[in-house]
Structure 1
Amino acid sequence: MAPPNKRASPYSRKVQYNLFTGYFLAGMGALIGAVLIAISLWQPSFFSGVRGAAQDAVAPATETVASARTESKGLFETVRGYLDAGAQNAELRREVELARIRLKETAAIEQENARLKSLLDLRTEDPSPVATVRMIGSSASSTRRFGYIAAGRSDGVAVGMPVRSDKGIVGRILEVSSNTARVLLLTDSESVLPVRKAGSSVAAFAQGRGDGIVRVRLINLGINPLEPGDVMVTSGSGGYYQPGIAVAIVTEVTDDGALARVVSDPAATDYISVMPIFEPLALSSAQTPVEQPLSDQDEAPGSQ
Structure 2
Amino acid sequence: MAPARDRRTGFSRRRQYSTFFGYVLAVAGAVVGAALLAASIFNPPAFSAARMAVASVTAPVASVLDAGVDAVASVPEAIGTWFHVHGENATLRAEAKRHRALLTKARVIAYDNRRLRALLRVRDRTPEPVVAARLVASTASSGRRFALLDAGRVQGVTPGMPVRGPEGLVGRVLESGPFAARVLLITDPDSLVPVRRTRDGMPAIAAGRGDGRVDIRSVNAANVRFAAGDMFVTSGTGGLYAPGVPVAQVEATGSDSVLAIPFAAPDSLDFALVERPFMPLPPPPPPRAAAPPATPSAPAPAR
* Normalised TM-score (structure 2): 0.69
Structure 1 position 224, deviation (Å): 2.1
Q: Aligned equivalents of 1:201 and 1:81: distance in 2?
A: 39
Report the equivalent of 2:74.
Answer: 74
Q: Aligned equivalents of 1:163 and 1:191: distance in 2?
A: 13
Shifted more, 62-71 versus 165-174: the winner is 62-71
Contact 1:117 1:123 survives alignment (8 Å): no
Q: What secondary structure sits across from 1:243 in the alignment? A: coil
Report the equivalent of 2:131.
Answer: 131
Are residues 210 and 26 of structure 1, via their aligned partners in 2, closer, same or farther at CA, if it must alter by over 3 Å?
A: same
Structure 1 position 221, deviation (Å): 3.4
Q: Deviations over 1:199-251 (max 9, x none)?
A: 42211111111221111011023332421111100011111110011001111
**Structure 2 residue runs without a partner (length 5+):** 1-24, 97-101, 283-303
Structure 1 position 171, deviation (Å): 0.6
Q: Which has the larger radius of gyration?
A: 2
Aligned-residue sequence identity (percent) comes to 39
Q: Deviations over 1:182-212 (max 9, x none)?
A: 1111111111111110142211111111221
Contact 1:172 1:185 survives alignment (8 Å): yes
Structure 1 position 28, deviation (Å): 10
Q: Deviations over 1:159-186 (max 9, x none)?
A: 1101011111011101000111111111
Report the equivalent of 2:286.
Answer: none
1:148 aligns with 2:154: no
Q: Aligned equivalents of 1:55 and 1:28: distance in 2?
A: 21
Q: Which structure's residues are more often helix, by fraction? A: 1
Q: Aligned equivalents of 2:269 and 2:176: distance in 1?
A: 20
Q: Aligned equivalents of 1:83 and 1:190: distance in 2?
A: 45
Q: Aligned equivalents of 1:235 and 1:140: distance in 2?
A: 27
* Normalised TM-score (structure 1): 0.68
Contact 1:78 1:87 survives alignment (8 Å): no
The code of the aligned residue for 1:186 comes to: I
Report the equivalent of 1:220.
Answer: 220
Report the equivalent of 1:157.
Answer: 157
Pairing 1:230-241 to 2, within 5 Å after superposition: 230-241=230-241
Are residues 114 and 264 of structure 1, via their aligned partners in 2, closer, same or farther at CA, if it must alter by over 3 Å?
A: farther
The code of the aligned residue for 2:226 comes to: L
Q: Aligned equivalents of 1:87 and 1:159: distance in 2?
A: 46
1:245 aligns with 2:248: no
Q: Aligned equivalents of 1:232 and 1:198: distance in 2?
A: 6
Q: Aligned equivalents of 1:137 and 1:117: distance in 2?
A: 47
How many residues in Structure 1 have an aligned counterpart in Structure 2?
249
Q: Aligned equivalents of 1:129 and 1:69: distance in 2?
A: 27
Pairing 1:1-304 to 2, within 5 Å after superposition: 36-79=36-79, 88=88, 122-139=122-139, 141-279=141-279
Q: Deviations over 1:71-124 (max 9, x none)?
A: 2332233445578998837x95xx99xxx9xx99xx99x98x979996xx5411
Could you say which structure has the greater relative contact order, defined with CA pairs below 8 angstroms and 6 or more residues apart? 1
Q: What secondary structure sits across from 1:130 in the alignment? A: strand
Contact 1:158 1:176 survives alignment (8 Å): yes
Are residues 114 and 134 of structure 1, via their aligned partners in 2, closer, same or farther at CA, if it must alter by over 3 Å?
A: farther
Aligned Cα root-mean-square deviation (Å): 4.0
Are residues 55 and 86 of structure 1, via their aligned partners in 2, closer, same or farther at CA, if it must alter by over 3 Å?
A: farther
**Structure 1 residue runs without a partner (length 5+):** 1-24, 283-304
Are residues 81 and 181 of structure 1, via their aligned partners in 2, closer, same or farther at CA, if it must alter by over 3 Å?
A: same
